[in-house]
Chains A and B, each alone.
With several copies, the nearest count.
Chain A
Amino acid sequence: MTFDVVRVRADFPILTREVNGHPLVYLDSANTSQKPAQVIKAMRMHNERHNGNVSRSVHTLGTEATSAYEDARGKVAAFVGASTPDEIVFTKNSTEAINLVAYSLGQHLALKPGDEIVISEMEHHSNIVPWQLLCERTGATLRWFGVTDEGRLAPDDDLINERTKIVSIVHMSNVLGTINDVSGIVARAHEVGALVLLDCSQSVPHLPVDVQALEADFIAFTGHKMLGPTGIGVLWGRYSLLAEMPPFLAGGSMIETVTMGGTTFAAPPARFEAGTPPIAEAVGLGAAVDYLTALGMEAVHQHEQDITAYALKTLTDVPGVEIFGPATPEGRGGTLSFGVDGVHPHDVGQVLDALGVEVRVGHHCAKPTCARFGVPAMTRASFYLYTTTDEIDALARGLDQVKKVFG
């Protein structure tokens, strides 16, 4: 079966839209993806027919809503190869998932001065700042892998050592597109007794990801980047670890029993899902996972590899364009950041937008990555299963226009 991008596009209502009189060319999926009609409909149907609160009611609507919510958990668990749906904690986004681990695991490990946490210089702010704050609270030290000129993690043999307690690394960079081969890092971390979180916000939407194969202890990802709605993210964690960790947010639904004098907590995942969860959002995410599964993540990834190869070639041919990150499709995904000689990314993005081409400009919530390459900002085009080579051509034409305006 070849990947039928035209048929895929027909499922995305927004792709029929025009922007500034041009057909929408949406090249900002690493920021947030568009949503297929199947996802939008699943949420609407839930709200129109089955809405009730979960885990609290014996009535029919409550039971239907609970089943829908737990079915979504099961789908997400299967999608990433979790051993049991109980390893899937629904959060509000990746950022909350990472904060949850920083807080609860940090407390569980009783971090103290002398302990070390290892991240990298290509992390999203959401995988930097929670660790900085954890280090501030506990006196632990933050260390990090550097990044090579090619946009890969710089090997550093001594970085992970017997002082290391937590390693948190991005699986696929949201700026450079690099897909990190994390197996060595995971093995080394486990060798020294450290635990590993992988920020899979950019990988789970685009590649087949299997938590058993990754061998990490936690992964975080986010619904809105994988055809799902805003308002929902996912933490996967090994059940035995989740079961040992203290709660993070506290309140309804995460308790076993409460008296004014004290509280005991429910088992995971409930322990980490305080308050009314994003119910309709879980239903939407479940529908997104169904959609991706039906196409097959291998096929989705292959399509993006093809587009990326085409885009790398096309952009390399545009004079004055410099690409940050791996120059060939090997070990990288469909997220391409670049500079246009003498033109600020804001201006690049603005001219492209006038032509209907939507790219992200700025620091991409990864200021250290930009700093590593000596620029305050970059322009980024990022692709997904609905991206076509025609859209890459539109981007290239747009860049010619940019150079005309600022020539």
Chain B
Amino acid sequence: MMLDGLYQEIILDHYKHPHGRGLRDPFNGEAHHVNPTCGDEITVRVSSAAGEFSDISYDGLGCSISQASASVLYELLRGRSPEDAAGIHEAFVALMQGRGQVEPDEDVLGDGIAFAGVAKFPARVKCALLPWMAFKDAAARAGIDVSSEASEVKA
């Protein structure tokens, strides 16, 4: 596969200048996920207050795709209600698992639409999803369900 679809300028930007990176206190739920095929790791914390994700903090080791994905996740989900977050989460997962057939909605996914090209690289889909799956788990541990049918499928 050629690279243009994969390494969008937006992705490289988020990678080089990640938003919201670093683990912060206080938090209500934390999850540590590992990509067993490549060894990438991420820890995600969520804190909720007043019915929204008041902070989402993360740290990890990984490639440009997984790191940029975490940065975008931070931008998209922080300050959202669980319902909004679930919708965005679902849209992102659907995009990633669409094998390049899903048309992303910029109104929902913002910078996340830059990941559309990743869906054509099966080996990298897991990288993009790693922070999102860890986020879902962290939220669950904070007692907040952001599941949806689409995000049930295995990362």
In-complex A–B contact (CB below 8 Å): yes
Q: What is the minimal beta-carbon distance from B8 to any residue of chain A, in angstroms?
A: 12
Interface presence of B102 (CB below 8 A): no
B34 A256 Cβ-Cβ under 8 A? yes
CB-CB contacts below 8 Å: A235-280 with B: 255-257, 266-267, 270
Given contacts A20-B1, A86-B154, contact A350 B38 (CB under 8 A): no
Q: What is the minimal beta-carbon distance from A197 to any residue of chain B, in angstroms?
A: 25
Interface presence of B59 (CB below 8 A): no
Interface presence of A67 (CB below 8 A): yes
Given contacts A58-B124, A350-B3, A350-B124, contact A344 B37 (CB under 8 A): no
Q: What is the minimal beta-carbon distance from A403 to any residue of chain B, in angstroms?
A: 13
When distances are taken between beta carbons in the complex, the residues of chain A under 8 Å from B63 are: 344-347
B124 A346 Cβ-Cβ under 8 A? yes
From B7, B12, B39, B67, contact of A367 by CB (8 A): B39
Interface presence of A376 (CB below 8 A): yes
Interface presence of A297 (CB below 8 A): no
Give the docked Cα–Cα distance between A244 and B124 (Å): 28
Give how many A residues have a beta carbon under 8 Å from the other chain's beta carbons: 35
Given contacts A257-B34, A406-B64, contact A58 B40 (CB under 8 A): no
B2 A66 Cβ-Cβ under 8 A? no
A20 B2 Cβ-Cβ under 8 A? yes
Given contacts A86-B154, A267-B154, A344-B64, contact A376 B37 (CB under 8 A): no
Q: Which of A267, A367, A376 has the most CB of B within 10 A?
A: A376
B39 A55 Cβ-Cβ under 8 A? no
Interface presence of A405 (CB below 8 A): yes
When distances are taken between beta carbons in the complex, the residues of chain B under 8 Å from A21 are: 2
B40 A376 Cβ-Cβ under 8 A? yes
A55 B37 Cβ-Cβ under 8 A? yes
Interface presence of B44 (CB below 8 A): no
Interface presence of A377 (CB below 8 A): yes
By beta carbon, the residue of chain B nearest A70 is B122
By beta carbon, the residue of chain A nearest B37 is A55
Interface presence of B41 (CB below 8 A): yes
Q: What is the minimal beta-carbon distance from B17 to any residue of chain A, in angstroms?
A: 13
Give the docked Cα–Cα distance between A86 and B41 (Å): 23
Give the docked Cα–Cα distance between A15 and B141 (Å): 50
A350 B6 Cβ-Cβ under 8 A? yes
B38 A361 Cβ-Cβ under 8 A? yes
- Closest 8 CB pairs between A and B? A346-B63, A363-B39, A344-B63, A362-B38, A58-B123, A376-B39, A354-B3, A376-B61
B residues with a Cβ closer than 8 A to A are 1-3, 6-7, 12, 34, 36-41, 61-65, 67, 121-124, 127, 154
